[in-house]
């Protein structure tokens, strides 16, 4: 059985679409835990309505404690062999859970995963209507090293490794780590890194099957925020959770930390967070610079990041040049892709 943990907070306008997408799953042996995190709208009532008509639902009403606390609560009530997470304003493809279970059971895997994609809800239909989606897709087998490289990388696919909602976990593995309550938007990163240190192999099915629905009010569309600032502390937290003997993983984390520090300092310039960021970056630098200089980061990257740190104007120039040259892939509301020159 798969325990599907759905986190809910003030989602009355989109919650039914999310739940209906789970109910449409071709895999039926489900336990659906609706964790109502102190919603002030009708979300709680919607959860109760579904539970009245289908005994696979468990509704947990709790005081508001945030996303991490809601996920931890869901895990504490889960009884399935496997656990997966769904945010209550997103959608999943009907084949997603079956594909994940088949991938997990095809070998000795700790985690299976598909791909998530950012879409407006109106653009999901072309994916939802594809009844064969995921059934004949390419497969990748990832080692722990592969996963950690992706998790601490800077590629466009980085978020596929970080997020928890595109994966299926063995229940004992998932429950072995609690989500940390944080002001950051990086609770997934912190939890996923700790999980990554415990795994051996992951089965990745390369199919777009989780639909991360975009809303204009979403935190991911906001400018500089305290959550964005706190990403610095999230990477420090992650670094502190990597054993000292794991030199390669620590080097990757340090490289990512310094890039986040530089980028956050650049974006915080002229905002209400400028002084806070300056203080956080200075403190993080002091506690990590000795290890950074001795790390396995290549000399060109290491020296380049140090120049950017000590001469902020060089980073500003770098960002301006990058903005002129980079080509952005823009997804229209119709789902079409086109290239736009900056």
pLDDT in tens, 133-158: 999 999 999 999 999 999 998 777 89
| 3-state SS, residue 61 | strand
CA atoms in the 13 A half-sphere facing the CB of 311:
8
Widest distance between CA atoms in the chain = 63
pLDDT band at 81 (very low <50, low <70, confident <90, very high): very high
Q: In the predicted model, is pLDDT for residue 329 greater than 70?
A: no
pLDDT tens-digit readout, 22-40: 999 999 999 999 999 999 9
**292-295: long-range contacts, CB 8 A cutoff, minimum separation 24:** 292/254, 292/258, 295/247, 295/250, 295/251, 295/254, 295/255
Query: Which residues are CB-contacts of 76 (< 8 A; sequence separation ≥ 6)?
Result: 175
C-alpha–C-alpha distance, residues 277 and 139, integer Å: 41
pLDDT tens-digit readout, 275-328: 999 999 999 999 999 999 999 999 999 999 999 999 999 999 998 887 776 544
Angle 97-101-102 from CA coordinates, rounded to 5°: 115
Q: What pLDDT does residue 225 have?
A: 87
Q: What pLDDT does residue 108 have?
A: 93
- The answer to whether the pTM exceeds 0.85 is yes
pLDDT tens-digit readout, 172-227: 999 999 999 876 678 899 999 999 999 999 999 999 999 999 876 554 445 688 88
Q: In the predicted model, is pLDDT for residue 82 greater than 70?
A: yes
């Amino acid at each position: 059985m798969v325990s599907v943990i759905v986190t809910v907070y003030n989602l009355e306008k989109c919650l039914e679409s999310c739940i209906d997408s789970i109910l449409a799953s071709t895999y039926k042996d489900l336990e659906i835990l609706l964790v109502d995190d102190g919603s002030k709208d009708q979300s709680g009532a919607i959860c109760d309505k579904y539970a009245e008509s289908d005994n696979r639902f468990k509704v947990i009403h709790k005081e508001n404690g945030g996303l991490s606390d809601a996920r931890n609560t869901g895990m504490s009530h889960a009884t399935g062999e496997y656990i997966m997470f769904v945010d209550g304003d997103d959608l999943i493809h009907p084949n997603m859970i079956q594909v994940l279970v088949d991938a997990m059971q095809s070998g000795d895997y700790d985690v299976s995963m598909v791909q998530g994609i950012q879409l407006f809800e109106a653009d999901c239909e072309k994916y939802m209507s594809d009844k064969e989606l995921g059934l004949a897709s390419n497969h990748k087998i990832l080692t722990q090293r592969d996963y950690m490289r992706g998790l601490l990388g800077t590629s466009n696919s980085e978020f596929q490794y970080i997020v928890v909602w595109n994966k299926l976990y063995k229940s004992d593995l998932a429950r072995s780590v609690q989500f940390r309550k944080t002001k950051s938007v990086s609770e997934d990163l912190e939890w996923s890194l700790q999980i990554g240190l415990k795994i051996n192999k992951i089965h990745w099915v390369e199919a777009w099957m989780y639909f991360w629905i975009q809303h204009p009010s979403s935190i991911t569309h906001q400018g500089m925020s305290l959550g964005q600032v706190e990403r610095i502390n999230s990477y420090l937290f992650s670094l502190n959770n990597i054993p000292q003997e794991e030199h390669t993983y620590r080097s990757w984390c340090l490289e990512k930390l310094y890039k986040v520090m530089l980028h956050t300092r650049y974006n915080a310039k002229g905002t209400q967070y400028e002084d806070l960021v300056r203080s956080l970056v200075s403190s993080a630098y002091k506690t990590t610079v000795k290890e950074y200089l001795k790390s396995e980061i290549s000399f060109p990257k290491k020296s380049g990041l140090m120049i950017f740190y000590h001469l902020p104007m060089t980073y500003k120039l770098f960002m301006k040049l990058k903005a002129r040259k980079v080509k952005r892939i823009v997804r229209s509301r119709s789902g079409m892709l086109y290239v736009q020159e900056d």
